Amino acid sequence: EAQVTQNPRYLITVTGKKLTVTCSQNMNHEYMSWYRQDPGLGLRQIYYSMNVEVTDKGDVPEGYKVSRKEKRNFPLILESPSPNQTSLYFCASSLGVGVGNSPLHFGNGTRLTVT
C-alpha cells in the first residue's frame, strides 16, 4: 500500500532532550516536506527536500534540522526542543513540485508535547 509513515504518533518530552521524528515513504517520491499545524495558524512548512541531499528551509525552520540521505526517508530532528515546538507535525511527499503537478501524500501526524 502506498503510504507515508511517521513515527511516533505521540511523543511527550522535556525541554532540551534531543528527539527525532521519522518519516518514510514507499512511493519513490522525489519531494518530501515537514509541516507543523497549530490552532489558528494552519499548516506551516518547516523544511522541504526536492531530492536526495537537497534540503531547503520553509517558513518556520528555526529549531529544526532535517536530512535526506535516502530517497525514502526524511527525518525531522529537534536538537533542543522547547515548549513552543509543541505542535502537530506532518510529513508529506509527492512526485515533485512543479513537475507533473502531483498531489501531496500525508502521514498521519505526530503530536509532540514539550514540557
Which residues contact other proteins (rule: CB under 8 A)? Answer: 4, 33, 35, 40-43, 45, 48, 56, 58-59, 88, 90, 92, 97-99, 101, 103-109, 111
* Rounded alpha-carbon distances, angstroms, from residue 72 to 20, 23, 46, 54, 82: 16, 8, 18, 13, 28
- Judged by beta carbon, residue 1 or residue 42, the one nearer other proteins is 42
Residue type (1 letter), 31: Y
Residue 88 backbone dihedrals phi, psi, to 5 degrees: -105, 125
Compute the least distance from the CB of residue 18 to other proteins, in Å. 25
Compute the least distance from the CB of residue 101 to other proteins, in Å. 5
CA-wise closest residue to 60 among 80, 46, 40? 46
- Judged by beta carbon, residue 33 or residue 85, the one nearer other proteins is 33
